[in-house]
Amino acid sequence: MRLISTFILTAVILTQSMFVALAADSSGGDGASPWEETYNCDIDISEFMDRLYVVLSSEEHLGKYEKVAEVAQMLKGLGVFDITGGQTEWIVSGEDIYLRDVTTFDHSEGTLYSDYYGLPDTELRSAKYVSHNDYMLYFALTGLVDKLMLTLESPTISPQGDQVTLMEMLGEIPDEDIAQGLGMIKALQLDKLLGDILSGEIALVVYQPPDFAKIAGGNFQPTDIDAAIIVGIKDPAYVAEMAGTYGSEIGLVPLEIDDPAWNGYRLVGEEGIGFAFNDEILIASPNFDMAALHVGMAESDGGMDIAPCQFHLDMDMERLHTGLIHPGVQMLAQHADATVVPQHESMMYLFNVPEPDALGHLVLTESYPEGNCVVELEMKKAVLTYAVFYVAMGLDVAFQSGAFN
């Protein structure tokens, strides 16, 4: 069995090396690479989707079966048959990889997709409170309230086979808490209330990775989390009123902030936990003092400038690798009692793994121009090199720990 496992592992590593070597910078760092590629694809499936709807809904075809016809109407209500095609652009050049994928629609009025992808792209309020290269992870989502309510009102099929909305189906779950929660949403018109108070944007910023030594030692504290959650707000007066009226009941005490544009509160007994808000965002952190320093630096340099979108993800892959992935793999190897140093050096040489500073940033963005869905991805080739390198290392650790025996 060990011989078979060794053969499989060797075959996987050799196969991976054939492809990953193409992604590696084999020129000594001057940016040249043997892997250069451009791919474009444009597909029109509008006529196929029309025929698919006829097949699923017409009594001449599968529509003669009641349940199939109900599914067809549900899909029509969602807007699935409005998909007309898409375009894909894939460019690999120098040290960079770029992907742009577009899904196009010919929207029918009143479908989930027409409402969902009809939401306007929005400028990220949180971006200007985050400095470029001052984070390991920045993630932002807009239109959250609208998207949540659209999803709850979207058509679906219940376990009994009936066409209902997702909210109606959830309401049939025999759980008192769920029933009360949904009833509160309807009675209080919570979507309208939240829409009046919140902008619909929520963002997560992880400035620095956690300290693995503290995690391993069991003395990791909330203040060791160098991160923050940012929420866009429309009505700061309402937030101030709620915090002032009910804050003392949950242990909030006001913070003294020099800038009059900001109001802040700290949680009694958990001195690191706090939040502050101005006229457009609320920022909360388990290590509020550190988060305030990050925000102050962003306010000084103007923060980031990101085009209006629906979703934005930016990861500093070098910081992620050196602060989280690499020490995490080492910890797992020690836990598995595996020897990885010789293999590590050999695979680094085999895959021609560049220095971590070649990893750059991985950026993923989604936007809805003219009712279509556009997804864009940018990253460095080195990310693929490191990814396959760690897959090979993981297989080696698993082999040494007896996972394949």
Q: Is 96 domain-assigned?
A: yes
In a domain, 52, yes or no: yes
Number of domains making up the chain: 1
In a domain, 402, yes or no: yes
In sign, the C-alpha dihedral spanning 86, 87, 92, 96 is negative
pLDDT at 188: 42
The answer to whether position 234 is within a domain reads no
pLDDT of residue 11: 56
Q: Is 281 left (phi over 0), alpha (psi -120 to 50) or beta?
A: beta
Of the candidates 380, 377, 351, 363, the one whose C-alpha atom is nearest the C-alpha of residue 314 is: 363
Range of weakest confidence among 92-106, 154-168, 389-403: 154-168
In a domain, residue 365? The reply is no
pLDDT of residue 41: 92
Assess contact for 281 and 274: CB atoms under 8 A: no
Q: Which domain holds residue 95?
A: 1-121+318-357+380-405
Q: What is the DSSP string of 253-299?
A: EE---SSTT-EEEEETTEEEEEEEE-SSEEEEETTHHHHHHHHHHHH
In this predicted model, what pLDDT tens digit does every residue of 48-92 receive, in sequence order? 999 999 999 999 999 898 888 888 888 888 889 999 999 999 998
Residues in the chain: 405
Mapped onto helix, strand or coil, the DSSP state of residue 404 is coil
pLDDT value at 25 more than 60: no
Q: How confident is the model over 214-226, as a mean pLDDT?
A: 77
Tokens 């989280």, residue located: 324
> What does the pLDDT read at residue 255?
85
* pLDDT given at position 134: 93
Q: What is the pLDDT of residue 393?
A: 75
Residue 130 pLDDT = 96
Whether 389 is covered by a domain: the verdict is yes
Neighbour tally for 152: CB within 10 Å: 16
As a whole number of angstroms, the distance between CA 311 and CA 262 comes to 27
- How high is the mean pLDDT of the chain? 80
What is the pLDDT at residue 27? 47
Q: Is residue 231 part of a domain?
A: no
Q: What local confidence, expressed as pLDDT, does residue 340 receive?
A: 56
Percent of the chain scoring above 90 in pLDDT: 38
pLDDT at 26 over 60: no
Q: How confident is residue 257, by pLDDT bands cut at 50, 70 and 90?
A: confident
Choose among 273, 113, 294, 269: nearest CA to 205: 294
Query: Is 109 a member of any domain?
Result: yes
